Amino acid sequence: ARFGRTVPAASGANGRRADPASPAASSSALGSLLATNGRLRDCLKWQSERGSLVKMNKVKGSTEKGNSRILSLLAQLEKLTLDGTVHDVENGRYVTSKLLHLAQTQEFPFSVLQVSERTKKDITAKGSTGMEIILSTLENSRDQQMTLNILNILNELVSVGGGRRGSILVSKGGSQILLQLLFSASKDLPPNEEIMVQLHSILAKIGPKDKKFGVKARINGALGITLNLVKQNLQNFKLILPCLQLLRVYSNNAVNAISLGKNGVVELMFKIIGPFSRKNTSLVKVSLDTLAALLRSKTNARRSVDRGYLPVLLTIYIDWHRHDTRHRHMLIRKGILTCIKNITSIKLGRKAFVDAEGMKVLYNTSQDCLSVRTLDPLVNISSLIMRKCFPKNRLPIPTIKSVYLFQLPIIPISGPVAQIYNLAPEVDDVVDESDDADDTEVETDNDNENEEYENENKKNDDIETDLSKLKPVQDLGRPVEELEIYKQFFPELTEDFQAYNFTESSNTSPSRSDVQRTGPIIVPTAEELSSKSNMIRASVKGNNIPQSQQILPNVYQGAGQDHKQVTHMDLQNTEKSKNNANYQYSKQNGHTPTQCLNNEITKGLGSMSLHCNNASEDAKCWKPGCESGIENKPRFLTLGETCSKTCQQISGCGKSLFVSSFGQPPSWQQVGTQLGQLCCTGIDTDAEDESSLSSEEPGFSDLPEPGVLQPLHDPDLYVEIVKTTKSVPEYGEVAYPDYFGHIPPPFKEPLIERTYGVQRTKIFQDIERLIHANDIIDKTIYDLDCLSYPVSEDGETLRFNSQFESGNLRKAIQIRKLEYDLILNSDINSNHHHQWFYFEVSGMRNAIPYRFNIINCEKSNSQFNYGMHPIMYSVQEAMLGRPQWVRTGTDICYYKNHFSRSSIAAGGLKGKSYYTLTFTMTFTHKDDVCYFAYHYPYTYSTLQMHIQKLEALHDPQQIYFRRDSICETLGGNPCPVLTITSMPESKSWENLHQFRNRPYIFLTSRVHPGESNSSWVMKGTLEFLMSNNLTAQSLRDSYIFKIVPMLNPDGVINGSHRCSLSGEDLNRQWLTPHPELHPTIYHTKGLLQYLASIQHTPLVFCDYHGHSRKKNVFMYGCSIKETMWQTDVSASSCDLQEDLGYRTLPKVLNQIAPAFCMSSCSFVVEKSKESTARVVVWREVGVARSYTMESTYCGCDQGKYKGQQIGTRHLEEMGAKFCISLLRLKRMTSVECRLPPSLLDVENDLIDTRCNVTSPTTHVLDEDEPRCLEEVDYSAESSDEQDIDLNETADFDPPYFDASTQEEQLSDSDIPKRDCFL
C-alpha cells in the first residue's frame, strides 16, 4: 500500500477468503509474493535513492538557510546593543530565543547535529564576532528572560564536545563577565534560581580553562555567593549540584581552598556525604570530588583530622564497600579513597589513619577487590595510601657509611666526603628525627594548574649557553716541561726498531716458554646461529664419551695436540629454548648419581680461600656414598702450597686447580679429581702428569686445556693475579664465576613482559609485615658489620657471602621462611650509591620459590620495571659444562618502600625513602652454590688476566703491543695503559715515518665500577684489535690505539657502584683532577695533554659507559650549534664555525651495529657535564670527535635485537663494531674520498633532525618507557621524588659472528654513498 499498489488477499477455490492458517492460503500468498518480488525490489530501490536525494537536498538547503539566518540574527542582536544598552527588550527576547532555538533544533534527528553544530561553529568560528556580540548583549542586558536565553546559548556552546569553544569563551573575557553577572544576580531577593543554575553550570565548565579563574572568583566575591547558595538550599538538589561543581573548581586554588575551609565548607560536605544510599548518588559523587579538592590543602586536611573526620570516611567507605555488591558506584568509593589519600598527605593524617586501623580496613577491602579487574583503581589508590602510611622504618644497619674504611691521604675541605669525615660519631646518619616533609603551608595565589603549566614550559637551565665556555680553548693547563714525564708512555713515537729482526714471513712468531699457545683468538659476536649447518667446530680425542658426560656439546681441540687440523662435531639443537638448552642433560624425574654427587659437593662449596695454611688437610676424597655431614665437606681452597694428598681414585696430585678451565664430564671420579686438586697452583701440562690420571676414565685426559673454549681465560693465572690484587677488605676468596669463566648461553634471552598486578602483590605482602607481625622471622643471616653471626645449618636457611672481588652485599635478613631482605654496601668513603650487587647464595632447595628483596636502592625507577632480569651463575651448571651467567627470576619489580632515607644521604632533602628491587628465584639444583649480580661481572683481576693472555698470544712480528702502568691507584693497584698498532713493514725511513705519524685513537672505560657492561665492550674492542683478520690488520695499519681499559680499579675491586676510594665520582674530576686523590684521571688527562702538546691530538676519544635508564647503545658528543639550538639563542646569529664531522661516527655505527640507536644520541653540552671526560677532552684538548658511548644494562627496543636482553656477546660485538666504524671513518675522512657537495651539507641535515634529539643527557631521568599495565605511582608521592642523577652514563641473543665478514672484502667503491659522509 505504501508503494501505491494493493496486493489482493489470497482466496480459496469457492471464492471465499481462505483461512490464513490453511496450507492452501499459505501457498497462494507465497506465490503472489514471488510474483511481485521483482516489482517490489525495483520500487524499494527507487524509493531509497529518492529519499536519500531528498534528504541531502533538504539538509543542504536547511544548512545554507540556517547559516544565513544565524548571521542575520547576530547582526540584529548587534544593532540592539550599539549604544551599550538594550532598548528593544521584546526584539531582544525574540532574537535570543531564535538563536537558542537554532542551537537546540529538534525537528528531525538527522538535522539536529547538522544545524546545531553549524550554529555553534558560526558563533565561535575564527574571525567571527558572534561570541563578542553575545557576551556584549549579556553584559548590557537587564531583562531576566533575555539573560536566561543567552545563558542557555552559552551552556549549549560549552556542553559536551565544547572544550575548544569554552577556551574561546574564556579568551573573549567570558569568565569575568559571568562572574560579574553572578555578583549582580545575587543581589536580587530572592535570586532567580534558573539564572543561578545556568551561571554555575557554565562557570564550572570554563573555570578549569582559565588559569586565573581562582583569583578572579575571589576578587568578584563569587566564593561567598556560591557557598551561601549551598547552605540555604541543601534540599534543592537541582541548584546545589552545579554550585558544588563550581566549589570544586574554586578549590583548585590553594588560597581559595583555605578560605572555603575556614568558612565551614569541609563540615558542609560531610552533611551531604553519608552512608550507602541509592538516592542522589550524583550529588554524593560531586560532594566527594569537592571535598577531595579542598583536602589537598594541608590546612584543611589538618582541620579534618582535628575534627575526627578520617574515621568517619573509613566507616563510610566500609559501608559503601559492603553494599555496593554490583560495583555500580565505584566512582563514589574512589572519591572516598581520594579524600583519605589527601588527608594522609600530612604526617598527622598518617598517624590518625594508622590509629583508626586504616591499614587493616584498606588491606581487607582491597583483597575483596582483587578478583574484579574493573576495581583496579580502588586497589591502586588503597595501595598508595597504605604505602604512604606504613610507618617509616629505620634501615637495620648501624650507619649508612660503608662497612669498609679507607683513610684518605688528603681530606677535601668541602663536599660530601668532607661531610662524612666531619660528622660527629654520635650522630645517627641512618634516619632523621623528622622523616616527613614539613606539614606547614604557605598561602599563595598560585593555582596548581598554573604552576603545572609553568613547569611544563620550564626551560632546561642545565644547557650551557655561555659561548665562552662552549668554544674550545685548547688550554693544556700544565707547563709543557711538566708534561714531558709522559713521553715514556709513547715510545712508539721514537722507536727505531733496530733491535727487531723483521722477517719476510709475517706468519711466524717467536714462541714463549712461559705461555702455551692455545689457538687463534676468537672474537665472539652476536650474529644468529642458524642450525646444524652453523656449528662450532670441535674435536674430542676419542669418541667414546657418552653424551651425558660431555662437558659441553662442543669443544675445541686441546692445546697439547700441536694445533692439528680440527675435525667437526655438530652443535645440536642450538636453537632450543632456554630450558632445553640448559637442562638437556638432566632427567625429568630425579637426578643421576653424578648429579647427586654434585649436590653433595656443591653443598659444601664456599668461595675459594687464598689463605688456608694446611693444604693437604683440605683436600678431601669424595665417593658416591659419601655422607653430607659438615665434617666431610671440603674447605676450599688453599692456593699457596702444592698438594701431596693422594686420593683413592687418583694417583699423586701435583696438578693445577682444574685440569679443564671449567667443569669436567660429570662422573664422580672426575669431580673428585677437580676437588682434590683445588689446593694446587700452576699449570703443568707434562705428559707424565697426563698419564698419571686414571686411564679408565673415558675421555678425561682428552679434555681441552684451560683457555681452549675461552682463549683469554686461565683459571690458575686468574688466581695468581688475585693474590697480587690489593683490596680494602683484603679479600681471601675467589668467586667461582670469576674462576670458571663465562661462556654466553646459546639461546635468546627476551625482555620479560611485566605480569599484571605483580607490584601490587609484592606491596601487599610488605604490608602484611605490619598487619601480621607475628609471622615475621626477622633473623639476621649475614652481616658484614658483625661477622660473628652463626651460620645456620638447619638445611632450611640460605647462606650468603660477598667477600670476594667486586662483591657487594652488606646484610641478609630472613623475613619469612622463603623471603630475605638484602642490604647493599655503600661506596667506600661515601654514604650512598646503592645499585651494584654481586653475592653468593647456597643451601637452597630445588623447585621452591625464594623471594629476594634488595631494600636500599636509591633511584626512583629502574629498567627492572621494563623487562630486565638480574643475572645468576650456578656452580652445578658450570660443573655440568654450562659455565654461564643467565638472566633469571620471576615476579620482578621495583618500587618505593617504607625504609626511611636520611637527609645526609639524600643531599639534605627530608622525607625520602629507599626503593626495593624484588625478584623470585626457583632453583633447579638442591644445595647448589649460585651467584646473583646486577650485571655481568668483570673484575680488575679478569682484566689483568685478559691483558696477559693477549700479550702472550699476539704475534710480535705483526702487532705492536705494549702494556704500561700509568700510575698506582689510592689502593696501590697499577692502572694499565695499552698501546696497540701494527709493526712497521721495515726499518726504512718511509715505513718508520708512516708508523710514527699514524693518528691516535684514545679509548677509556670503567670509570664507574658498577658499569661492568663497559668492560665487556672494551673486551670486544681489545680482542678485535688483537685478532688476525684483515679488518683488524687494516685498523692497526691506520691508527695507534692508546687504551686505558679501567679508570677506576679500586672501585671495581671493592664492589663500589660509582666512586673511587676517594668517595668521589671520577667522571666529575676531569676539570681539575687531584694527583693524589684522582691519580688515574690526573695522569690519563696528562697523556692527552702531552699528545696535544706535540701536535698529535687524537682523532677520536671515546669513554665507554653503561646506562641504567635507557635501552640500546648510543653516544653523547659535543656540538656548539646543537647546544645553542636547544636554547633561545640562534646558532646562525652566533656566526659559529664548527666541524660537523662529529656525527659521522655515530651514524656509521647506526648502520653497522644492530644494537646502536642514533635517535638516542645527543650532542648537547650541559653545565652539569662540564667536568666529564667527554666535555673536557673536547674543550681543552681539542678533540672534535669526543664521545661517551653508553651501553644499556637492559636490552634493545629497536633493530635486529628488538625485544632481547643484552648479553656479553652483544656487548663484545659492540666493541668490535666500534673498531669497524673507525675504519669507515678513515675512508670517509681520507683525501682520496671525493664527496659530492650534496653529501657535505650536513648542517641542513642537523637542522632537519634537530627535533629528533630526544634524549639530551640532562634528561636521562625522564622515563623513555611506556606505562606499565597497572598504573601505580612508584614513588608513592607523585611529586616528591625528582631524582637528580648527574650520571653521564647510564641490554640480546645472538650467536657467533665474524666481525670482518663484510668488511674484509669491502672496497671504497662498495660503500654506499650515504655511508661516505653522514
Q: Which residues contact 978 (CB under 8 A, 6 or more apart)?
A: 947, 961, 962, 963, 964, 1022, 1041, 1042, 1043, 1044, 1045
Number of neighbours of residue 1037 by Cβ within 10 angstroms:
16
Nearest to 798 by CA among 729, 846, 731: 846
Mode of pairing for the β-strands spanning 929-933 and 838-842:
antiparallel
Catalytic residue among 1190, 1212, 1213, 1288: 1190
CA distance 669 to 495: 55
**DSSP assignment of 608-637:** EES--S-HHHH-----TT----GGGS----
**Cell numbers that stand for 1029 in this block:** 683478520
1011 counts as catalytic: no
895 has which bridge partners? 916
**SS3 (DSSP) at 116:** helix
Nearest to 401 by CA among 831, 729, 827: 831
**SS3 (DSSP) at 748:** coil
Burial pattern 553-565, b for ≥16 Cβ within 10 A else e, equals bbbbbbbbbeeee
Q: Tell me 472's DSSP state.
A: -
- Phi, psi (rounded to 5 degrees) for 1081: -70, -45
Stretch (H or E) spanning 299: helix 298-306
**SS3 (DSSP) at 978:** strand
899 has which bridge partners? 393
Q: Which residues contact 647 (CB under 8 A, 6 or more apart)?
A: 619, 621, 653, 672, 673, 676
Burial pattern 175-191, b for ≥16 Cβ within 10 A else e, equals bbbbbebbeebbeeeeb
Assess contact for 838 and 937: CB atoms under 8 A. Answer: yes
- Phi, psi (rounded to 5 degrees) for 1206: -80, 145
Tell me how far the alpha carbon of residue 1080 is from its chain's centroid.
30
Nearest to 1034 by CA among 1129, 958, 1146: 958
CB-side neighbour CA atoms (13 Å) of 275 = 5
Q: Show the beta-strand stretches assigned E in 707-778.
A: 733-734
Angle made by CA atoms 598, 603, 604, in degrees to the nearest 5? 110
- At 296, the amino acid letter reads R
**Cell numbers that stand for 683 in this block:** 699449570
Ramachandran category for residue 1063: left, alpha or beta (phi over 0 → left; psi -120 to 50 → alpha): left
- Max Cα–Cα distance, the chain, nearest Å: 135
Q: Show the beta-strand stretches assigned E in 735-792.
A: 779-783
CB-side neighbour CA atoms (13 Å) of 1185 = 23
Q: Tell me 870's DSSP state.
A: P
Residue owning grid cell 584498606? 362
Burial pattern 426-443, b for ≥16 Cβ within 10 A else e, equals eeebbbbeebbbeeeeee
Tell me how far the alpha carbon of residue 528 is from its chain's centroid.
26
CA distance 923 to 1289: 33
Q: What is the CA radius of gyration of the chain?
A: 39
Q: What's the first-to-final CA gap in the chain, in angstroms?
A: 78
CA distance 721 to 702: 28
- At 824, the amino acid letter reads L
Q: List the catalytic residues.
A: 1190
